[in-house]
């Protein structure tokens, strides 16, 4: 039973009235399938991760015979192409044509922000992969729960590790010029500078930039390292050109949670060995759920699962836990959302719980690229336990500041 099992059909109405059938409309609905919409990216620079999102979710459902909490599941997939306006159109189609009960996704922060108001107006329970900060911070969406992380949630510990363990003092940062990149490097900058370091260069490059040469040519070499805040295949592309410019060994490289994801690591060579990244997941995690998931994924697709595949597998686990709490009654939205935000589960990333804003609290791992059995893997070097989206800052003080962005926190130490 593979991908072809998915049922992309439009649910049809049932003739007759509840009274005539002798049970309520709610009861009748609850006897039908749960309709899940996956909003992902299957075209463009984010496609490698988006395809893995679909694979990870399908693996979870397939292992349970497309049944959660005693109810059959139908999966509908929308491809936003990583374009926020398209994400809104596709979500509207999933809700109004396919009548989904819940959305998993979208992948990117820009798309999540673009569909925020629609999620609210449709009262659509959403388990997000996208890291858009303010949807679980200053403007919390009551229908939105995130089991992965905000953009900065893994960048905070990476900055802490650079400052306290590596003892670095001067760094550069580069990221995709999108909300995800802005928020990630801003969080990294804040923690690194709060611990005595200085960000002396900051680069933001277009998501689909054809060449990183102009950015690499400007990079200072009298720094301790550079932080990569890329998504999709851009980390691979940047690092390849970085090495072509002869900078390997001259400037140390660390990365955010998707910079050297397993989805692209399989295409890299020895140039990646030794690079540290911070993420809430590694295919090398030895907990029981992940041992099964990683082995099954590797067997089927011939490479390790990474951030994106683990993200939808994780969100499906959170979904199933909440559905079990409410006896499968996803139509009772108030009870379901309460259960969703109260979930405590042990997943492929380890234990997760949620704060009052609907964002995950979970472990973050400092990982190092190593070669194992002929393939490149992200081996865990250090674990930061139970990391909050607010890091070590008091939530009220954190939220009193502007959302992380291009301009906040201000870059006080940039050098020309």
Number of domains in the chain: 2
20 has a pLDDT exceeding 90: no
pLDDT at residue 66 above 80? yes
Give residues with Cβ within 8 angstroms of 119, minimum separation 6: 91, 103, 126, 141, 143, 144
Both 221 and 159 in a single domain? yes
| Measured distance CA(297)–CA(306) in Å, rounded | 10
Q: Are residues 135 and 186 located together in one domain of the fold?
A: no
My answer on whether 268 and 382 are in the same domain is: yes
Is 407 within a domain?
Answer: no
Looking at the domain assignment, is residue 406 inside a domain? no
Instruction: Mark whether 273 and 389 lie in a shared domain.
Output: yes
The answer to whether position 125 is within a domain reads yes
Measured CA to CA, the distance from residue 293 to residue 341 in angstroms comes to 24
Q: Is 143 left (phi over 0), alpha (psi -120 to 50) or beta?
A: alpha
DSSP state of 135: G
CA distances from 134 to 75, 139, 190 (A): 28, 5, 17
> pLDDT tens across 316-340, in order?
999 999 999 999 999 999 999 999 9
CATH code where residue 170 lies: 3.40.50.2300
Q: Residue 208 above 90 pLDDT?
A: no
Mean pLDDT for 113-130 is 96
What is the three-class DSSP state of 59? Answer: helix
Task: Report yes or no on 167 lying in a domain.
Answer: yes
19 domain residue, yes or no: yes
Asked if 348 and 291 sit in the same domain, the reply is yes
Cα end-to-end distance, the chain, whole Å? 58
pLDDT digits (tens, 9 = 90+) for 212-258: 999 999 999 999 999 999 987 899 999 999 999 999 999 999 999 99
Q: How many Å apart are CA 185 and CA 121, to the nearest integer?
A: 32
Whole domain around residue 32: which residue ranges?
Answer: 3-150+286-362
Check whether residue 270 and residue 160 sit in a common domain. yes
Does residue 164 fall inside a structural domain?
Answer: yes
pLDDT greater than 60 at residue 21: no
pLDDT at 370 over 50: yes
**pLDDT tens, residue by residue, 181-202:** 999 999 999 999 999 999 999 9
pLDDT, position 30: 61
- The answer to whether residue 209 sits within a structural domain is yes
Each residue's pLDDT tens digit, 376-416: 999 999 999 999 999 999 999 999 999 999 999 999 999 98
Supply the pLDDT for residue 60: 98
Residue 410 lies in a domain: no
- Model pTM? 0.90
Same domain, 119 and 176: no
387 CB-near residues (< 8 Å, 6+ apart): 149, 153, 154, 156, 157, 280, 361, 362, 363, 364
Both 126 and 23 in a single domain?
A: yes
**211 and 121 housed in the same domain:** no
**Contact status, residue 333 vs residue 79, Cβ threshold 8 Å:** no
Q: Does 212 share its domain with 130?
A: no
- Judge if 303 and 261 occupy the same domain: no
Please indicate, yes or no, whether residues 252 and 379 belong to a single structural domain of this protein: yes
């Amino acid at each position: 039973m593979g991908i072809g099992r998915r049922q992309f059909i439009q649910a049809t109405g049932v003739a007759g009235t509840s009274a005539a059938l002798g049970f309520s409309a709610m009861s009748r609905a609850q006897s039908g399938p749960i309709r899940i919409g996956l909003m992902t990216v299957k075209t463009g620079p984010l496609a490698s991760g988006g395809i893995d999102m679909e694979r990870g979710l399908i693996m979870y459902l397939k292992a349970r015979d497309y049944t959660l909490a005693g109810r059959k599941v139908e999966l509908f997939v929308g491809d936003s192409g990583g374009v926020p306006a398209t994400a809104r159109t596709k979500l509207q189609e999933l809700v109004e044509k396919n009548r989904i009960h819940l959305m998993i996704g979208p992948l990117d922060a820009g798309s999540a922000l673009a569909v925020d108001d629609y999620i609210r107006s449709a009262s659509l329970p959403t388990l997000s992969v996208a890291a858009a900060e303010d949807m679980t911070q200053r403007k919390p969406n009551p229908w939105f729960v995130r089991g992965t992380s905000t953009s900065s949630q893994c960048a905070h510990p990476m900055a802490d590790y650079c400052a306290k363990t590596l003892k670095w003092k001067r760094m550069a940062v580069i990221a995709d010029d999108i909300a995800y990149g802005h928020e990630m490097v801003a969080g990294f900058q804040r923690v690194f500078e709060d611990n005595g370091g200085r960000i002396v260069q900051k680069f933001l490059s277009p998501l689909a930039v054809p060449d990183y040469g102009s950015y690499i040519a400007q990079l200072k070499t009298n720094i301790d390292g550079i932080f990569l805040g890329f998504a999709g295949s851009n980390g691979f592309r940047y690092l390849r050109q970085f090495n072509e410019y002869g900078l390997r060994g001259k400037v140390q490289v660390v990365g955010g949670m998707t910079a050297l994801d397993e989805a692209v690591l399989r295409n890299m060579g020895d140039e990646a060995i030794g690079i540290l990244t911070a993420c809430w997941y590694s295919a090398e995690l030895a907990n029981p759920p992940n041992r099964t998931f990683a082995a099954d994924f590797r067997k089927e697709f011939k490479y390790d699962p990474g951030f994106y595949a683990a993200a939808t597998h994780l969100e499906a686990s959170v979904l199933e836990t909440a559905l079990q709490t409410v006896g499968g009654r996803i139509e009772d939205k108030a009870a379901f959302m309460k259960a969703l935000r109260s979930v405590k589960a042990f997943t492929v990333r380890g234990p997760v719980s949620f704060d009052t804003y609907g964002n995950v609290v979970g472990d973050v791992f400092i990982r190092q690229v190593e070669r194992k059995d002929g393939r490149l893997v992200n081996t865990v070097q250090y674990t930061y336990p139970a990391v909050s989206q607010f890091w070590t800052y008091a939530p009220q003080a954190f939220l009193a500041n502007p959302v992380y962005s291009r301009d906040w926190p201000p870059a006080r130490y940039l050098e020309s």
